[in-house]
Chain A
Amino acid sequence: MTDTAIAAAALGKRFGRRGAWALRDCAFRLPAGRVCAVVGPNGAGKSTLLALAAGLLAQTEGTVTVLGTTPGRARARVGFVGQDKPLYPQLTVAQTLDMGADLNPGRWDQPTAERIVAGGSLNPRSRIRSLSGGQRTRVALALALGKRPELLLLDEPMADLDPLARHELMGVLMADAAEHGTTIVMSSHVVAELEDSCDHLLLVGDGRVRLAGDIDELLAAHTRVAVPADTDLAPHTVVESRTAGRQLSALIRPAGPLPGDWRAGGRLSLEELVLAHLRNPQAPALTPSGLEGKAA
């Protein structure tokens, strides 16, 4: 067993020989057992990153290690739900679960899969093509969880679920993570959706990792300050600053203790932190757990 779920180094993916880079210079390490939020604007490279980790795409450069091995070899231990929740429309719900059982011999957990499907009061004999988007998400999640993954990669999993189903399925995911120690990585462009359930953050913007690490540590590493407009903020790293009249308010990464007369703002929210970084692409990236420690 490895204590690292995903480790990436200089990871890059370009579509086509002369296409634009969807992802570049990506380096981070995700410890096992964490629930990680991958956030970023649309088209930032979140889906590409998840597809690389799931072994669905081959990277153009760099390396990505999943559960201590290559994505291709980790395939049996990784669950994946794509953004558009692809399922075979001609199969019934029960046949879709049969497929999961047939294709994952020795790993398949039928009760878990059935429980998730049953939660949506789905008729097992309904064809997939007759289901709504939310019901399809439910079946796709049942397939992914039914294979008892050690790492679950979810690309915008909750996008087409109603609030009730979202709450319920999030509960199912968290219970699974707690019970089996499953590492969960889920992407979203709605930060608030993930704030309560996730303890790890990966902020992707313009194909690069902007922030990576434990959410609490990341929040602790940043402070909002309000100082007179002519204050020199060095040596602290400035993520965002705004001058209003004679006051300068800024989000900084303190390099050391702050002067006592700098009025620090209240508790920083994850959404504020994310938005500040997205608004200021020139802000240096912070990936504290990047490749330190025992990266594979």
Chain B
Amino acid sequence: MSTVTTPPRATAPAPGAPGTQAAPARRLRWLLRLHRPALCVWTVLVVVLAALLLWLGGPLTDASAAAWNQYDACPTTGACGYDQEAILLYKDVSLYTSLTVLTLPFLVAMWAGASLIGRELESGTARLAWTQGVSPTRWLTAKLALPAALVTVGTALAALLNRLAWTAGLGRVDTAKPWYSIETFYASGPVVVAVALAGLAAGTLLGLLLRRSLAALVGSVCATAALWAGIFMALPHLWPTVTRVSSLREGPSGSGIGVAEGLLTADGDRLGIPRYCGSSIDPSCGALFDRLDAVSFYRDYHPASHYWPLQFVASGILLAVAVLLTVLTFRVLRHRTADHRGGLA
């Protein structure tokens, strides 16, 4: 046996020592204890997702690119061997990880509405906190600040790794999604982080208004779906489009996020495209174009160079929504409790 030495003992402050300075840290302990399961689930989710995305961007992309090289080298006739498994695995993992990233805001909003706020009001434990020296305003601040930080870090990491994985496959993997696809655009930029934060704010407000965890859960799902749908529909109009004019023979061209397309007449008027006539290669369409006095096709769209402006404007709007919802949440809480009556009666 080794000699026993007295270990250096950390001097723990006596519990309840008056004037304890570590108040914020101690408040944090209470919050972490309350939401430990959610914290664990979120951490595991983000770590697993990050691992999958790293796997996707590294080995899976390489294997898929190699398989596409094999495929492209195949003679046009006759049997040819290529690693189809690698291509399919890349496609699946890429799809499912992107979908998971798109789902994160739903999870955040559901948790915020049902567990973070709704359950506390339903079971009355919020009142317990409010009578234990934590004013409702501070309670809500603590309840929002920590999750907001963790949600930002988690979704930003997932979005960043998703973007890196997509970039790794760019020009190498033939089935890689274009930049403007939903999976790429919405799941690998700041937009998903902003939706998650707006979802957190929306869930919190609904939890406070509905005061029932189940109702808040359902409401939060609807609110997040509305946020996604709203930003999806608004996005094409958030930045000035580029108009590309192409010949009648070529058809409308310009790849990206399309906003409008049609025919241009000699006078500069814009017309809709007649049904089944995408090009003047078809003689009957050519005759129709002549009758309409059309001289070319046009397309208003966002080219790849609009990626970041669109991301930033959309994120800005969503963050403004999140701030608005948060302000509203605080106002509702202050109106309902006695926190806002500052002066003496």
Residues of A within 8 A of B (CB): 9, 51-52, 54-59, 63-65, 69-73, 75-76, 78-80, 82, 84, 86-91, 95, 98-110, 140, 143-144, 147, 296
Q: Which of A55, A105, A147 is in CB contact (< 8 Å) with B337?
A: A55
A105 CB contacts on chain B under 8 angstroms: 19-20, 22-23, 26, 133
10 contacts between A and B (CB under 8 A): A52-B338, A55-B339, A56-B131, A57-B336, A58-B337, A72-B340, A88-B34, A103-B27, A103-B129, A147-B133
Residues of B participating in the A interface, judged by any CB pair closer than 8 Å: 15-16, 18-20, 22-23, 26-27, 29-30, 33-34, 37, 123-125, 127-135, 335-345
Name A107's closest neighbour in chain B (CB-CB).
B133
CB pair A143 B337 closer than 8 Å: no
In this complex, what residue of B is CB-closest to A9? B345
The answer to whether B125 and A87 have CB atoms under 8 Å apart is yes
Given A72-B338, A102-B27, A110-B15, residue A55 in contact with residue B130 (CB < 8 A) = yes
- Are B125's CB and A88's CB within 8 A? yes
Interfacial chain B residues near A54, Cβ < 8 Å = 130-131
Do A63 and B133 touch across chains, with their CB atoms under 8 A apart?
no
Tell whether, in the assembled complex, residue A70 and residue B128 are in contact, meaning their CB atoms are under 8 Å apart. Answer: no
Chain B residues lying within 8 Å of A88, measured Cβ to Cβ, are 34, 125, 128
Known: A88-B125, A91-B34, A106-B20. A143 touches B338 (CB 8 A): no
When chains A and B are docked, how far (Å) is the Cα of A118 from the Cα of B344? 40
Q: How far is the CA of A113 from the CA of B341 in the complex (A)?
A: 31
Closest chain-A Cβ to B66's Cβ sits at a distance in Å of 50
Contact B340 A82 (CB under 8 A): no
Say whether B345 contacts A70, CB under 8 Å. yes
Are B127 and A64 touching (Cβ within 8 A)? Answer: no
Determine the distance from Cα of A274 to Cα of B37 in the docked complex, in whole angstroms. Answer: 50
Q: A70-B341, A75-B131 given. 14 additional CB < 8 A pairs? A: A55-B130, A58-B336, A70-B342, A70-B343, A72-B340, A82-B124, A86-B125, A86-B127, A87-B128, A102-B30, A103-B129, A105-B20, A105-B26, A143-B132
Residue of B nearest to A55 (CB): B338
- How near does chain B come to A113, taking the closest CB pair, in angstroms? 9
B131 touching A106, Cβ below 8 Å:
no
Chain B residues within an 8 Å CB radius of A59: 338
Contact of B338 among A58, A108, A147 (CB under 8 A): A58
B338 x A57 contact (CB < 8 A): yes
Complex alpha-carbon distance, A201 and B337, angstroms: 26
Q: Is the CB of B340 within 8 A of A106?
A: no
Q: A140–B129 Cα gap in the complex (Å)?
A: 12
Could you say which of B16, B30, B340 contacts A110, with CB atoms under 8 Å apart?
A: B16
A18 to chain B, nearest CB (A): 17
Q: Determine whether the beta carbon of A56 is less than 8 Å from that of B132.
A: no
- With A55-B339, A88-B125 already in contact, the answer to whether A100 and B131 are too (CB < 8 A) is no
A90 — nearest CB in chain B belongs to which residue? Answer: B34
Q: Do A70 and B124 touch (CB < 8 A)?
A: no
